[in-house]
Amino acid sequence: MSINKTKNNKRSEPKRKNNPEIKEGNMCLLCNTMRLINERSDIAQWIASSNKPKDEIAKIATILSGIEFNEEMIDLLRDPSLFRIIFSS
């Protein structure tokens, strides 16, 4: 038996590179939140404990982290039940 060697055996590129939303950084709410927690947990903890207005927090956190913030992300990080789960380890 002979094996057809004309087939291109190159690995396909990861789907992440082909997805325009991910290239541009427009990931989902949970993706951005988890990215922030993994890369900049200090900012996530500051958001959770800050008493500043949400729009001000969003502007500061966007500048510090490079991740586009919105009120939904801030609400998610301020949720006490999620905060305990995320930062318990």
Q: What is the pLDDT of residues 65-86, one digit of tens each?
A: 888 888 888 998 888 887 777 7
DSSP letter, residue 2? -
Name which of 75, 39, 16 is nearest 83 in CA terms. 75
Q: What Å distances lie between residue 29 and 1, 15, 35, 78, CA to CA? A: 53, 19, 10, 14
Distance (Å, whole) CA 45 – CA 86: 10
Domain boundaries, the chain: 28-86
Instruction: Give pLDDT, residue 23.
Output: 44
For the whole model, what pTM was predicted? 0.61
